[in-house]
Structure 1
């Protein structure tokens, strides 16, 4: 079964012809923190040749720590980040795992963390009073 997903407004859809990601990781790099607006980005790495993206996307390219470009693909309608595509590893692309379809993303099992040099110190703690939903 392929990995499928979409952006928030559903204008962009994608399908990766793989049974599961090659790697599922918490990406703590500063760029992913800024793009996601969060403390890390959950990524699902797939072979670029196996991915088809449909719909209106834009790409913003910046320089990664390798010195090579990292191309960040997002929906041109709602702005949802879809993937980042590093020139330093041209055979792969990292899907933003939060955009995967629910039945797929709920079964993901992150196996590693990357760019932990940028991991925020409070991400290491288990908070005492979690809320299933926002408190009312």
Structure 2
């Protein structure tokens, strides 16, 4: 079953013709924190030649630790990040796993954390009061 997903407004859709990601990781790099607006980005790495993206995509390129460009793809309508595409690893692309279809992302099993040098110190803490939804 392929991996499918979409942006928040559904203008951008994608399909990766793979049964599962090659790697599912918590990416703690500073750029992913900024792009996601959160403490890390959950990424699902797939072969780039197996991915088809449809819809209005924009790209912004920053410099990765390799000195080469990392292209960050996002929906030009709603701004949802879709993937990052590093020139240093041209055979892969890292999908932003939160954009996968709901039933697919429920099956993900992250196996690694990357860029832990940038991991925020409070990410290791377990909070005493977890809420299933918004507190009332």
User: Does TM-score exceed 0.5, indicating one fold?
Assistant: yes
The 3-state SS of whatever aligns with 1:71 is strand
How big is the alpha-carbon RMSD for the aligned residues of Structure 1 and Structure 2?
A: 0.4
1:120 and 2:120 aligned: yes
1:32 and 2:32 aligned: yes
Give unpaired runs (5+ residues) of structure 1.
Answer: none
The answer for the alignment partner of 2:83 in structure 1 is: 83
The 3-state SS of whatever aligns with 2:103 is helix
CA distance in 1, matches of 2:90, 2:126: 36
Instruction: Tell me how many residue pairs correspond in the alignment.
Output: 136
Divergent runs of 4+, >6 A = none
TM-score relative to the length of structure 2: 0.99
Give unpaired runs (5+ residues) of structure 2.
Answer: none
The answer for the alignment partner of 2:102 in structure 1 is: 102
TM-score relative to the length of structure 1: 0.99
Aligned-pair CA distance for 1:57: 0.4
1:68 and 2:68 aligned: yes
The answer for the alignment partner of 1:2 in structure 2 is: 2
Aligned-pair CA distance for 1:66: 1.0
CA distance in 2, matches of 1:134, 1:91: 40
